[in-house]
Amino acid sequence: MAFRVKGKDGTVQSAVRRIACEQIDAALAAVDGQDDGDVVHDVRKRCKKLRGLVRLVRPSFPGYARENAAFRDIAGLISAARDARVMQDTYDALVEHFHAEVDRRALGSIRRRFTLQRKGELADDGSERALPQVRARLLEARERAAAWRLDDDGWAAVSGGLEKTYRQARKAAAAARANPHDEAFHELRKHVKYHWSHCLLLEGLWRPMLVVRQDAALSLSELLGDHHDLSVFAHRLDTDPLAYGRPGDVVAAIGLARRRQAELEAKAWPLAGRLLAQSPEQLGDHFGALWKVWRSAARAPAEAA
């Protein structure tokens, strides 16, 4: 199961239908217990890839708004179980990073509070109860996906979505530089993650180059994802500090989270600078030229036969 456009797909429409159905089938297999993975994680991952797929062909796909919302809502049905675990993991990673400076016993009340919250959220979590609804919606989406229609083919079908998402990433990066607050970095992360999925989908154009871009986009996305988790962590502590322990300890934990965010930002900016160095038009021209060569190479064996 390859999350990429293939020469043998024939048309972009055929490729998009195939990829969508494969991703939905994998999500259904997880729901039906046909693999040993984390159901929530796997379904959410597939839905994110599907949203990246429809974004690639967005200007040529009349059904974009409906399908993007459908996959967003499916993932939302089972989000609580994942969210319940994030704060524990964020705390553990933060304490480990600053282990030489941290008195774990002093901050232990924070860890215990997050453990209690997770137990409570898991007890109230409707993810398992939601799985039949998730399955039904996935089946409906698969039936639609098998008949998706695009208004364009070839490079015209993907160029607009590629450039639009990349342009949004550049705008988000500029906004975060001008006003570096938590939501700005979170917005940047979303668009970078979609650009990563586009680099996966178009890997066949020139694999050595696209793998480098994938690695850069994924690394940047992970840094910004950790940045966002620390933002939520600090916000929770700041909103109800008395629930997490002694005021001085809570303030210290928030300070560590903000320091770690600053470190992540320092690592993220060089990556963002390289990944987003081209203008959208330059990126589109470059990828378009590679597409032309790739399609010519794909047609040559068939014509020779």
pLDDT tens-place values along the chain, 305 residues long: 789 999 999 999 999 999 999 999 999 999 998 655 588 889 999 999 999 999 999 999 999 999 999 999 999 998 765 666 899 999 999 999 999 999 999 999 999 998 888 777 666 656 678 899 999 999 999 999 999 999 999 999 999 999 999 999 999 999 999 999 999 999 999 999 999 999 999 999 999 999 999 999 999 999 999 999 999 999 999 999 999 999 999 999 999 999 999 999 999 999 999 999 999 999 999 999 999 999 998 776 555 44
- Cα 112 from Cα 132, distance rounded (Å): 33
Our CA dihedral for 256, 261, 267, 270, rounded to 10 degrees, sits at: -150
Note the pLDDT of residue 280. 98
- Asked if residue 78 lies in contact with residue 104, where contact means CB atoms within 8 angstroms, the answer is no
Contacts 24+ apart (CB under 8 A), 55-58: 55/161, 55/164, 55/165, 55/194, 55/197, 55/198, 56/158, 56/161, 56/162, 56/165, 56/197, 56/198, 56/201, 56/202, 57/12, 57/16, 57/150, 57/157, 57/158, 57/161, 58/160, 58/161, 58/164
- Cα 160 from Cα 204, distance rounded (Å): 18
Residue 7 is given by DSSP the state G
Note the pLDDT of residue 259. 98
- Asked if residue 56 lies in contact with residue 199, where contact means CB atoms within 8 angstroms, the answer is no
- Asked if residue 43 lies in contact with residue 78, where contact means CB atoms within 8 angstroms, the answer is yes
Note the pLDDT of residue 305. 44
Note the pLDDT of residue 300. 64
- Asked if residue 192 lies in contact with residue 219, where contact means CB atoms within 8 angstroms, the answer is no
User: Which tokens is 144 given?
Assistant: 């639609």
User: Which tokens is 220 given?
Assistant: 């940047």
Note the pLDDT of residue 40. 86
Return the closest-CA partner of residue 54 out of 26, 15, 1, 25: 15
- Cα 53 from Cα 67, distance rounded (Å): 10
Note the pLDDT of residue 85. 81
User: Which tokens is 18 given?
Assistant: 């195939």
For the chain, domain boundaries: 1-78+126-145, 154-296
